[in-house]
Structure 1
Amino acid sequence: MAPDRRPLSADLARIAVFAALVIVLGTVMVPLPSGVPITGQTLGVMLAGLVLGARRAPLSVLLMLALAAIGLPVLAGGRGGLGAFVGPTAGYMAGWVVGAVVIGLIAHSGRFTWWRAATGSLVGGIIVVYLFGIPVQAAVTGVPLDLTALSTVAFLPGDLIKATLATVLAVALHRAYPRAFPAGVAAPARAVGATPVPAR
């Protein structure tokens, strides 16, 4: 993979755009009795990982979390402040950062394809987030780990829908505007025998 030599200003703009996207998607929220709501923010994390790659995607998530830490209401339900980082959702937020890295690594491990995008979204956007979120939720709420894990079944259908939607949107964007993705990610050939364009 060729090194990505985008200007720093372009990188910062892309990181900020996806941080804003994660924030906006947080306005889509379905409260649950467990205290951990179903939100659209995971969809934003998946899209960030698929489009920005493993280096820039976590920075967009960290930017959003930094805004939350200073008290801005950027988390689902208009929450913000340091209290959110010691609540039942704290592990899921940490999982977003690591998940964004994993999504980017899988999706851009070779030529960008729908199955790499789907695998990245499923592994990084669901499994990794759950691995971080469930133990912290159990510890904060005092509910046994196995029961907490069982309660996450309510999230799974929505997360699978989000992974599917993220894959469809990312693949469509890659076909329409491959320059939005990390340099060196090959765009699909538009015709048989087409000469590949070298990465810049």
Structure 2
Amino acid sequence: METRALVRIALFAALIAVLGLLPAFQLAFAGGVPITAQTLGVMLAGIVLGARQGALAVLLLILVVALGAPLLAGGRGGLGVFFAPSVGFLIGWVPGAFVTGLVMQRLSRLPVFPAALLAAIVGGIVVIYASGILGLMAVARLAPLQALIAVTAFIPGDLLKAIAAALLAEAAGRTYPAALGRAR
């Protein structure tokens, strides 16, 4: 892997970490899973870096968190986060970024905004929610329907994050098309 790719991966891992500095909102009925801005970073990682590098950026962040760095919203970090009700969402970030990048690549003939919006919704919402639901069922001991209902509270905010990711991608694509890999 070339140096430029490693720098971009590290940069997006840092971006996701910085988004964790924004205040999180805890939802008691969702097993205490917080609403954070970090999924915006996951969406952007997939859109901008592509499937493989986007997933690697998220994986890098998760590994640093596992080592104890308090980089998740609310200053959370360490191995304890892997036993919390939000573990499914956290682990889902990796395939979420991968699928976001894959969908973005497959939709390369579309204009940037609709391609990025659809990619962010499929990878950054659907894939992450599927993993999050499984985590809620396993850790919070919610029934499948309860877990599904609990995650519906996240939909409005995540749709806004998907729109923001698409707008940012469109702006980046307009000013520097190579940023999205479309100039190749």
Q: Structures share a fold, TM > 0.5? A: yes
- Identify the residue that residue 20 of structure 2 maps to in structure 1: 26
> Shift of residue 179 of structure 1?
2.2
Alignment of 1:112-123 (within 5 A): 113-123=112-122
From 6, 11, 15, give the equivalent of 2:5.
11
Task: For structure 1, list consecutive stretches of 5 or more residues without a partner in the other structure.
Answer: 1-6, 187-198
> Which residue identity lines up with residue 174 of structure 1 in the other structure?
G
2:43 corresponds to 1:49: no
Any idea what SS the aligned residue of 1:37 has? strand
Q: Which residue of 2 aligns with 1:196?
A: none
CA distance in structure 1 between the partners assigned to 2:26 and 2:135 by the alignment = 19
Q: Report the number of matched residues.
A: 179
Alpha-carbon distance between aligned partners in 1 of 2:140 and 2:102, rounded to the nearest angstrom: 33
Who is 2:104 aligned against?
Answer: 107
Identity percentage of aligned residues? 49
Structure with the largest fraction of helix: 2
**What is the DSSP-based 3-state SS (H/G/I as helix, E as strand, rest coil) of the residue aligned with 2:69?**
coil
1:73 aligns with 2:70: yes
- Per-residue CA deviation, residues 81-106 of structure 1 (Å, 9 max, x unaligned), is 11111211111112110011111111
1 CA distance for matches of 2:55 and 2:132? 17
Kindly report the root-mean-square deviation, in angstroms, between the aligned alpha carbons of the 2 structures.
Answer: 1.3
Deviations 1:140-180 (A, max 9, x none): 11121211210111111000000000000011111111222
**Residue 84 of structure 1, aligned match among 81, 84, 105:** 81
Q: 1:115 Cα shift?
A: 1.3
Rg comparison, structure with higher value: 1
- Shift of residue 49, structure 1, vs aligned partner: 0.6
> 2:140: which partner in 1?
141
The residue that corresponds to 1:64 in the other structure is 61
1:161 paired with 2:164, answer no
Calculate the TM-score normalised by the size of structure 1.
0.86
Counterpart in the other structure of 1:171: 170
The answer to whether the 8 A contact 1:96-1:125 is kept is: yes
Secondary structure in structure 2 of the residue aligned to 1:58: helix
